[in-house]
Chains A and B, each alone.
Chain A
Amino acid sequence: MSQQIVIDPVSRIEGHAKISILLDDQGKVQDARFHVVEFRGFEKFCEGRPLGEMPSLTGRICGICPISHLLASAKAGDAILAVKIPPTADKLRRMMNLGQIVQSHALSFFHLSSPDFLLGWDSNPAERNVFGLMAREPDLARKGIRLRQFGQEVIRVLGGRKIHPAWAVPGGVRTPLPEEGRAELLAWIPEAKSTTLEALALFKSLLPQMEREAAVFGNFPSLYMGLVGPDGAWEHHSGKLRFVDSEGLIVADQIDPADYQTYIGEAVEAHTFLKFPYFRPMGYPDGMYRVGPLARLNICEYIGTPLANDELQEYRGRFGRTVNSSFLYHYARLIEVLAAAESVEQLLNDPDILSEHLRASAGINQLEGVGVSEAPRGTLFHHYTVDKDGLIRKLNLLIATGQNNLAMNRTVAQIARAFIDGPEIPEGVLNRIEAGIRNYDPCLSCSTHAAGTMPLQVQLIAPDGTVVAEARRD
């Protein structure tokens, strides 16, 4: 008799989700499904809204990655206005995106994932949280908060608010970088770099005891996709799309993001609201690709800042030129924080960074536009169609978490096969499955509301729907 294990909901990720693990007649893991049951409706909600409203409106999809939506939306607006924005506006947008990467990655590493590394997957879940981190590494916990504050301060200095600034607009940005803000951020850079290097040293010191997890937490071949510069440099805002395979071979390069639909298809499955993007030339589901920190480090030739590039070389020395274990998203995330802090420093020292020429004006010159930005979790596409008055007729958001959907399903199945043998569901296995999802730092909420606590429910279900076993953690 085949059975089904359901983990519902997944904790410490954004939004509501559950996992079903399908067992065969012998009790072995057959497959796994990651269900998202809450994400819906936003694209319809935006129809009829003016183009100029879209950056601010879509920026409010999420409280953790609003800047990614803000910037991708503004870039889609640039395309519809058919303008080239002033150079300083582009630099300031880049700086804000870097601030976003720092604050989001810091939250993911210090507050969501590091308790797993420091306390172990078999530890008491009531203690395996940010308080566990504080007990073990109180100084690092405070520094982690400061690092996230640095990222948010970059956003506040530029946009006037830490969350949801209506600052980037089609054609450029609204306000310049103030001189006092520049000085404040420059003074903060050494601390941000120092904290990140400390976190990197900690993570590297823990790697030997996490070898089994690194081997099975999403360790499989796939394609990788993201933005790169013209010479293949690590990129987060401009540039063109590149796909590489699991051996590092470039399979498509310097693709204009506006042509994304030529290369990316979106499959739909009945069991989830989250779509399954895939690399169209290879078909579905063979065209599985990953995005985000792991992918960005796999596709780039180098990082254009010295400390981060040194860390990249060490990372590749440890794991190879192309890294296929999703567990190492955490490592890649820290290298990106370092790259972001260094890049902010470079931009702050740019002689034109205080310029007040920040916005190009135009009317509606195209009825369709695509904007793309590297969100902390991966490449984010905003694709708008407007009418002649600039009202949104159609909207397609291709979000990073969706693009990792096939890989997240594969990851859960791999972990389940490694740790589940029969109908027993030990606590440590649940933790590992959740941690496997957290590798990707998914941000599913994008407008969901978490009211109160969400219990963790595990059900073992027979094919006839009978619940034959159940575990619950409130």
Chain B
Amino acid sequence: MRSTCARPQAATEIRCIVIGYGNDLRGDDAAGRRVADAVEDWGLPGVDSLSVHQLTPELADLLARAGQAIFVDAYPAAAGQALQIVRLEPHTAYVPSPGVGHFGDPRALLELTAQLYGYAPPARLVAVPAANFDFTEELSAVAETGIAEALEQIRGLIEEEISCTKSA
């Protein structure tokens, strides 16, 4: 992914925030949270990593203080589908209409952050391929592979952010 170093000057006390979300009793849905737990174990300075069940509004307060945000979630992949990394833009269109339970879309959360605090960080979604959402704490081989690849990619994104910070 091409580096832009486009982080606004408004940022921030947290260089990078990683938010992995999902239900860790529902098989591969735990993928995002496993990734977030692993990033936390790295103990990188300036990097916050959160493992959460669902995206909820108060996360906006943390996002408003971050230079970069990386959301990590599982997605139901067809056979052969790989890890996906996509840029996210704040957008109200992704507010569930009129809203689905306590589940939130990261783009809506970014929009909430921008509207409430006047700034939202550049953000990406790392989507980990998943094959099984049944009641289990075990991961499928598809998710295990995806998690390893996700961690490799996220390390690169964090290093890129740190590089941007140093050159700013």
Which residues from chain A sit less than 8 Å from chain B, CB to CB? 11-15, 41-42, 45, 57, 60-64, 66, 107, 110-112, 115, 125-126, 128-131, 134, 138, 141-142, 144-146, 148-149, 152, 162-164, 431, 434, 443, 445, 447-451, 453-454, 456, 473-474
In the complex, what's the smallest C-beta–C-beta distance from B38 to chain A, in angstroms?
16
Known contacts being A11-B96, A64-B102, A131-B111, is A148 close to B57, with CB within 8 Å? Answer: yes
B58 & A45 in contact (Cβ 8 Å cutoff)? no
State the CA gap A62–B95 with chains docked (Å): 21
- 27 A-B interface contacts by CB (under 8 A): A14-B101, A14-B102, A41-B135, A62-B53, A63-B23, A63-B54, A66-B53, A110-B57, A128-B98, A129-B97, A131-B92, A131-B95, A131-B115, A134-B112, A144-B57, A145-B57, A145-B61, A145-B116, A148-B57, A149-B61, A162-B52, A164-B53, A445-B101, A448-B26, A451-B133, A453-B105, A474-B97
Say if the beta carbon of B43 comes within 8 Å of chain A.
Answer: no
In the complex, how many angstroms separate the beta carbon of B67 from the nearest chain A beta carbon?
21
Cβ B29 vs Cβ A141 within 8 A: no
For chain B, residues 89 to 107, give those with C-beta under 8 angstroms from any C-beta of chain A: 92, 94-103, 105
B residues with a Cβ closer than 8 A to A are 22-26, 29, 52-54, 56-58, 60-61, 75-76, 92, 94-103, 105, 111-112, 115-116, 133, 135
**How many angstroms from the CA of A130 to the CA of B111 in the assembled complex?**
11
B98 partner, pick from A66, A107, A125, A148, beta carbons under 8 A: A125
Instruction: Give the distance in Å from the alpha carbon of A63 to the alpha carbon of B23 in the complex.
Output: 8
Neighbouring A residues of B94 by C-beta, 8 Å: 453
* B95 engages A129 (CB within 8 Å): yes
Nearest-CB distance from B34 to chain A (Å)?
Answer: 14
Q: How far is the CA of A62 from the CA of B92 in the complex (A)?
A: 26
Q: Are B116 and A134 in contact (CB under 8 A)?
A: yes
B138 to chain A, nearest CB (A): 12
Partner of B22, one of A14, A57, A449: A449
- Write the nearest CB–CB distance from A165 to chain B, whole angstroms: 12
Minimum CB distance partner of A435 in chain B = B98
Identity of the chain A residue whose Cβ is nearest the Cβ of B62 in the assembled complex? A149
Answer whether A111 and B53 are a contact pair too, CB < 8 Å, given A131-B92, A449-B23: no
A431 in contact with B98 given A45-B25, A63-B52, A131-B115 (CB within 8 Å)? yes
B96: nearest residue on chain A (CB-CB)?
A: A453
